A and B are shown apart, each in its own frame.
Chain A
């Protein structure tokens, strides 16, 4: 596609429910990243996928967070048993090859509100 797309754009859920957020990267991009943007914390890295390699999960804040990437394209970020502190904008980015020199292109984000 022309850019990174994410769905839904907004998600409101109740505390304790599970949510799934979807990311469609730019076609042909092998690297995919998830970040979280919250008040007071700024932008935080969550997880990174590169091709068929094991993902870098070093930024995931707890074991309630997980992500997968199917067929090297679409990715889903799952948050189990959501908590109010999970409220944030979740951003997905993709880059051509995952190298430091490759620009990361960001999607519009999913705004998650946990009541």
Chain B
């Protein structure tokens, strides 16, 4: 069965610090990988996604993620966080033949100004 593990439940950073949120997945076939973000009081929105090709994927707001197949990982990074990045971040996987997103339990990021 597919599953997603996010290593950090709550991350606290100061503005301008670098960010890396861990995500590992379990799936036996070709996967599609996603990061979604939920800002306070807003609905889930897509940050970035990976299907094939370049394993380094760039998304909105300066975020990027790297797919490392050998490690079953899809970690999210940002070189310099801002206060406005305070949100909950969800990693998700979908099998090539699948339809539903399987989400990790999420990581809450708090950025202090």
Q: Which residues of A contact B (CB under 8 A)?
A: 31, 33, 35, 41-45, 48, 50, 56, 58-59, 91, 93, 98, 100-101, 103-109
- A42/B32 contact (C-beta < 8 A), A31-B99, A100-B51, A106-B44 known: no
Smallest CB–CB gap between A30 and chain B, Å? 12
**Contact in complex: A42, B43 (CB < 8 Å):** no
Q: A33-B100, A101-B51, A103-B49 are in contact. List 9 more A-B contacts (CB 8 A).
A: A42-B104, A42-B106, A43-B101, A44-B103, A48-B99, A104-B101, A106-B36, A106-B44, A108-B42
Please tell me if the beta carbons of A106 and B32 are within 8 angstroms of each other in the complex: no
Q: Is the CB of B98 closer than 8 A to any CB of chain A?
A: yes
**B interface residue numbers (CB < 8 A to A):** 32, 36, 42-46, 49, 51, 90, 92, 94-106
Rounded to whole Å, the gap between the CB of B52 and the closest CB of chain A is 9
**Contact partners of A41 in chain B: CB under 8 A:** 105
Q: What are 24 A-to-B residue pairs whose CB atoms are below 8 Å?
A: A31-B99, A33-B100, A42-B106, A44-B103, A45-B101, A48-B99, A48-B100, A56-B99, A56-B100, A59-B100, A91-B44, A93-B44, A98-B99, A100-B32, A100-B96, A100-B97, A100-B98, A100-B99, A103-B49, A105-B46, A106-B44, A108-B42, A108-B43, A109-B43
Q: Does the CB pair B99–A50 fall under 8 Å? A: yes
Using Cβ atoms and an 8 Å threshold, which residues of chain A touch B96?
Answer: 100
The minimal Cβ–Cβ distance linking B96 to chain A, given in whole angstroms, is 6
Q: Whole-angstrom distance between the alpha carbons of A105 and B79 in the complex?
A: 27
Give CA–CA (A58, B95) in the complex, Å.
Answer: 15
Q: Which residues of A contact B104 (CB under 8 A)?
A: 42
In the complex the two chains form, is B43's CB within 8 Å of A106's CB?
yes
Q: How far is the CA of A59 from the CA of B102 in the complex (A)?
A: 11
What is the minimal beta-carbon distance from A99 to any residue of chain B, in angstroms? 9
Residue of B nearest to A99 (CB): B99
The 7 closest A-B pairs by CB, nearest first: A45-B100, A43-B103, A42-B105, A106-B44, A108-B43, A100-B32, A106-B43
Contact among B42, B44, B102 with A45 in the assembled complex (CB-CB below 8 Å): B102
| B90 x A43 contact (CB < 8 A) | yes
